Structure 1
Amino acid sequence: MSSDLTNVLISCHCGAAKQTVTIGFESQKTAGPQDTSIDHSYDYRHNTGLLCASYAPIQVPNLLNNLVAYPEVSPDTDSVTTRHYFCSTCGCHVFRRRHTPTERESWGVATGVIAGRVGADGQLIETDDRDLLRVYGYTGVAETKDGGLAPFIHESVGNELPTPGPVKGEAKGGGEDVLEAHCHCKNVQFSITRPDASSHLPRSNFPDLITPYATSLNQEYTNPQDEKWWLRPRSKDDSTLTRYLAGTCACRSCRLISGFEIQVWAFIPRSNIFFVPPTTAPSSTLNTIPLDFTTLPSGILKSYESSPGVQREFCPRCGATVSWHDRWRPELIDVSIGLLDAPEGALAGNWLDWWHGRVSFEEDADNGRVGGAARWATGLIGKLAEGLRSSENRGREG
């Protein structure tokens, strides 16, 4: 590898994928910031569980140990083939390999696993002043139907934003009773029901999304009044509780377990989640089982303990992030929003009420990263946070 190119350290949360890779295309001879697109396509959402994903071009990696390869073939006539590699232990997406019959293969690394540039001694360069990545555009936005997160990131980027495609069918104003969800390979299929009496039973502290832990007093986030903050009104003009709270997260754990900077969670009571056994197809509320992590048939989910008492689940076949839960609030589950198949669009506005005031743990965006990798992360999350808050302010003014 040429010394003129940029070598970076990458790692997933558990460390199984830790190694050095070279940023840039195979034909590239000199270092420089890499143009990176933010992909919002249907396939990427269901393959990752997130609303968008981003990869930086790299030269062929040396190590694929401990990674699961998930094949993906496009129905397009040019037969572009994409294969994703994710960690078999923590589920983190690490690499993407693409090739066509007429072009050489190309490799990408999930941007969230990049810790920073390394020197000749293999150590991170703490004072690195080189920019590694930059957003040059968006792909797959038309497949979101509603724009997904692209309009919020776009507010401060200034690149041309593709127009979302039309909603298929007429929106029903939140009247549907069941919302279907699945990973890309459909090994994981489940449904979510509207809030009911059981949805009020869980108890939970306020999340960092609402009450920043870094700057709040204990009594501010312990929720002494037992507010059911995860249950949300149908609209600002209708207080009927028909939706669930949703928001974004930039914590280090979410980044290193998904592989990307922007995680998206919906807070759903366990009593409102019903899984479809793998032998049942297509998904139907007539063939579902209530979510119980202790009795769910094997092979549907793989769990990873990201910290003591905290479990995260992902699909063992395609690597999609599915859920987060802990022992302190076992009846309230964080569900990865990219898995949802809401007819109105990726943001599932008839089901979810998005929190615009803050990106959860946005102060953590550069945790464990240095130089250009840290600046990329804080810049991206800063743009998202700014776009969300601007959108909220416009809504208030309207």
Structure 2
Amino acid sequence: MENWKVLSGDQEWEGLLEPLDYDLRRYLIHYGEMAEATYDAFNNNRTSKYAGFSRYSKDELFSKVGLGKGKAEKKYTVTKFLYATSSSLVPDGFLLKSLSREDKNSESNWIGFVAVATDEGVREMGRRDIVVAWRGTIESILSMEWVNDIQLGLVEATKIFKTGDDHKEKDVPKVHQGFYSLYTSIDSGSIYNKTSARDQVLEEVKKLVNTYENEELSITVTGHSLGAAITTLNAIDIARNVAGNHLVTAFPFACPRVGNSKLRTTASDLHNLRVLRIENIPDVVPDHPINIVGYDVVGKVLKVDSQKSPYLKNGQPGIMSFLSRAHNLEVYMHMVAGTQGSKALEFKLVIERDIALVNKGLDGLKEEYSVPTSWWVQANQGMVQLPNGSWQLMDVGY
């Protein structure tokens, strides 16, 4: 792909957003699917002792979540799984546990992965692409991540913004306390978070950058919702502290506001960083926390409007269903595939993307399309019949 630098924002997506460029549509969906993989692989079965982990190994992740065939194939190798802990924000006596695990690692959850393009992928894409994908909050379960989501206070991001001698800069950008904690916290009692998610990802990206330093290289960070907030912090961190002159691009979908105006200006001043926020107009998440408490938006914005799609149940009653659809990542990708611009009233699927994907995790499509609702489920909830006829939970986690 000869124009990958343009699609990664080398020219700030000038002339590509309104109307949305065909190649950029494909590009955004490509990385959106990477973020979606973190949801599709996540084990949210409360009865599993591996709840909160990935159901699949690094080697089989893409094939198991439907990204191993045809147009959906991802020519990447997953090199590292990322884990985060929320325990540092939980007050004494607050017994909320992450999922249902009772083991000593119960405060750690799988939150994403790092992948790198294979040699075949390099030939197809024109460079060695390093991808970091971050998972958003799993809405169907009671998770400690919700505690992080509501920590609205702004704190100085000193671990990201420090000088070479480790002394704090003056006027350090401030960021959302909960997002920052999730990104930087450690839990010495967990084998998964003896180092923070930040340290895990920076170490892996640095290793890959060094391995492929003599090749054309790109670094792309993506995520949805909570994962989009971490994407923003992580992309700034990589661009500032790891990437050197390599281009770092962030594609945060449905991203809440992450920090103050100082964060916005500092990010825009980084010569090797580009951020494109994808926002659905009826989705309330990108507008929060509100500006009056000191928050600002980082990066350029691509607006879509799911109310324009004739495929979606936009006219159906129920405010919670409407908000859930507006925030859903598959709905976002559906809109990227068909939006005709913020001023256009029509919607047309320019990219041939299966509309059945909209209903993977919700009731979003009109009944006339005959697609089951919330159809992305593990077969038999992981129960497997043994040779003697009995059934047993085949419990694995990574």
TM range (shorter): under 0.3
Higher relative contact order (CA 8 A, sep 6+): 1
Higher strand fraction: Structure 1 or Structure 2? 1
TM-score, normalised via structure 2 length:
0.26
Higher helix share: 2
